[in-house]
Amino acid sequence: MGHGTIHGLAHATAHATPDRPAIRIGGGEVTHGQLDSRAARFARWVGNRIAPGDRVLIAAPLGVDWVACYLGTLRVGGVAVLVNPDYTRAELDQLVVAAQPVEILTQLDESMFAADPAPWVESAGPDTTAVLAFTSGTTGLPKGVPLTHRQLLTSIRSAMSAWRWRARDVLVHALPLFHQHGLGGVHATLIAGSRLSCLTRFDPEALLAEVVRAKATVLFAVPTMYQRLPDTPYELNRLRLSVSGSAALGRAAAERAEHVLGRAPLVRYGATESGLDTSHVYTDLRHPDRARTIGLPLPGIELRLAAGDGEIQLRGPQVFGGYWGDGASNQSAFTEDGWFRTGDIGRVDDSTGEVIIEGRSKEVIITGGLNVYPREVEIALESHPGVAEAVVAPLASEEWGEQVTAWVVMAPGATFDERVLINHSRTLLAAYKCPKRVFEVDALPRNHVGKIDRRKLQPIP
């Protein structure tokens, strides 16, 4: 599944179907042929400034020329360093030091696309690094993750096979393209010759309106987006597939999406380092446990649970080879026999064979000498009808070492009662796992891809 290159496949699609609509972002829209031409013009511009293997940091605002810039960089053998354009100067400086880019692009202008198109020359192969991604960094400094064309293509092709992606599909999402979830949608579109409409910011009503306008068949979103979908008069019967990723779906988001879309989203699981790894079965449209499980390994993916703690470990052609300039992290990232250690703790559902995530090994709470995985406690709290979302983390305690503590967002119309929620958890969990304190918040702190940022959790007086 990893043959070819990203830009090479995009070029082949453009040659075969030049007039087919490809990508719409904001007010801009291009066909596959037009996108290929813009990429070739940018390749001429950037090719005069970098050599194969050089890094180009792209922190420009999202638009169709962002995609052309990305493809043009790959065409000349460059490595795209994809960065959130909303990063502060300090955050950007940190990544510049880490990536050492030759070019830094915070804005794109027409002069970069004014030259004659560069002639087609294959300057990269499947095992050439295409992207230097950075982990989300919710627990510490982001780490650089070099990803080859083969790794990126294997990842998205395995998902496309499982999800039955076709040229006639139309994808809509409001995800950042500097993250693997959104970028994967671009790759699928370019490979299949299908169509993508990407919103530059998330607005619940605008997202559903675009699903209708574009006659979307596929929707990508993160759990927070699904939870915020409004009731709608729109007919959404063209939508055959909705996919959730980047964070645990959760009961509230699953129920809201099912109410609005007619079915709960299909959950996919992955990591920056390993791409897309598991997914619910596409044909199981009304899966009863989509808020709880992450499905089965995608084609070509090997998954095992480590003896003892049940850590999810992965192996396959989609897994990266090691962190960028970080030998110490590489030693702990892989097992002695070469499996990538995700840090997620899982178990297998005996009835379905699907994988359930119990928590993160690095997030384990040690309270009174006993281990507690936050996700298990969060699931217990979210099973209460009044709780929309919950997150669990430790607070320092002289008595317990670490105290199990929860922050909850209540469902509309529900009344917060700390004692009621603690008692509810005690009906489902051993006493030592139950929160000693529960705080109510209006919203859980999240990073740019919807993952909860536990560093921002604080006790409430």
What pLDDT shows up at residue 139?
Answer: 46
Q: What percent of the chain has pLDDT over 90?
A: 67
- pLDDT digits 0-9 by tens, 31-71: 999 999 999 999 999 999 999 999 999 999 999 999 999 99
For the chain, the residue count is 461
Number of domains in the chain: 2
Which whole number is the average pLDDT over 161-186?
Answer: 95
Q: Which amino acid is at 440?
A: E
CATH of the domain at 411: 3.30.300.30
CA atoms within 13 A on the CB side of 40: 18
pLDDT of residue 328 exceeding 90: no
Lowest mean pLDDT among 1-5, 190-194, 239-243: 1-5
**Model confidence over 258-316: pLDDT tens digits?**
999 988 899 999 999 999 999 988 766 555 566 678 999 999 999 999 998 899 999 99
Model pLDDT, residue 82: 96
Residues 370 and 352 in one domain: no
One DSSP character per residue, 350-381 reads TTT--EEEEEEGGG-EEETTEEE-HHHHHHHH
Q: Indicate if 138 and 70 belong to the same structural domain.
A: yes
Q: 3-class secondary structure for 232-270?
A: CCCCCCCCCEEEECCCCCCHHHHHHHHHHHCCCCEEEEE
Q: Is the pLDDT of residue 359 over 90?
A: no
Confidence of residue 173 (pLDDT cuts 50, 70, 90): very high
Most confident of 188-192, 282-286, 423-427: 188-192
At which of 356, 387, 409 does a domain end? 356
pLDDT for residue 290: 64
Residue 461: per-residue pLDDT: 66
- Is residue 153 in some structural domain? yes
Strands 296-297 and 275-279: antiparallel
What range does the domain containing 411 cover? 364-456
Mean pLDDT of the chain: 91
Q: Kindly state whether residue 381 falls inside one of the protein's structural domains.
A: yes
Q: Phi and psi (nearest 5°) for 219?
A: -125, 130
The answer on 346 and 390 residing in a single domain is: no
Same domain, 323 and 204: yes
3-state secondary structure of 202: coil
Element (H, E) at 125: none
**From 176-190, 308-322, 346-360, the region with the lowest mean pLDDT:** 346-360
Q: Can you read off the two tokens belonging to residue 21?
A: 């609509």
- The pLDDT of residue 129: 98
Tell me the C-alpha to C-alpha distance, in Å, between residue 170 and each of 57, 189, 258, 271, 442.
29, 8, 20, 25, 35
pLDDT of residue 286: 54
Q: What is the mean pLDDT of residues 317-325?
A: 95
DSSP 186: H
How far, in Å, CA of 352 to CA of 245, rounded?
A: 20
Residue 94 lies in a domain: yes
H-helix or E-strand spanning residue 208 = helix 204-213
Domain match, 296 and 369 both: no
Q: Scanning the structure block, which residue is given the tokens 């009961």?
A: 251
The residue written with tokens 């099973």 in the block is: 383
pLDDT at 381: 96
Torsion sign across C-alpha atoms 129, 132, 136, 140: positive
- The predicted structure's pLDDT at residue 84: 87
Q: Are residues 236 and 377 in the same domain?
A: no
What is residue 361's predicted lDDT score, i.e. its pLDDT?
A: 76
Instruction: Answer yes or no: is 1 within a domain.
Output: no
Verify that 257 and 327 share a domain, yes or no: yes
| Residue 138 pLDDT greater than 70, yes or no | no
pLDDT at 137 over 80: no
Residues 308 and 376 reside in one and the same domain = no
Looking at the predicted structure, is the pLDDT value of residue 356 above 50?
yes
- Residue 35: the pLDDT is 99
Distance between CA atoms of residues 183 and 328, nearest Å: 28
For residue 136, tell me if it sits in a domain. yes
- Classify residue 461: in a domain, yes or no: no
Residues 323 and 409 in one domain: no
Among the candidates 337, 356, 375, a domain finishes at 356
Q: Distance of alpha carbon 303 from its chain centroid, rounded?
A: 19
Query: In terms of domains, do 53 and 110 share one?
Result: yes
Final residue before a domain boundary, out of 300, 335, 356: 356
Token representation of residue 47: 């090719």
| CATH of residue 322 | 3.40.50.12780
Instruction: Count CB-CB contacts under 10 A for residue 286.
Output: 9
Reply yes or no on whether the pLDDT at 405 is more than 80: yes
Q: Is residue 147 located within the same domain as residue 28?
A: yes
Inform me whether the pLDDT recorded for 79 exceeds 70.
Answer: yes
d(CA 265, CA 287): 9
Distance set, CA 234 to CA 175, 231, 237, 238, 461 (Å):
22, 9, 9, 11, 44
Query: String of b and e for 339-356 (b: at least 16 CB within 10 Å)?
Result: bbbbbbbbeeeeebebbb
Report the predicted TM-score, pTM, of the whole model to 2 decimal places.
0.84
- Collapsing DSSP to helix, strand or coil, 24 comes out as strand
My answer on whether 340 and 397 are in the same domain is: no
| pLDDT tens track for 89-100 | 878 898 999 999
Q: What's the pLDDT band for 375 if we cut at 50, 70, 90?
A: confident
Position 324: which residue type? W
> Is position 450 within any domain?
yes
206 occurs within a structural domain? yes
Q: Are 367 and 402 contacting, i.e. CB atoms less than 8 angstroms apart?
A: yes
pLDDT at 53: 97
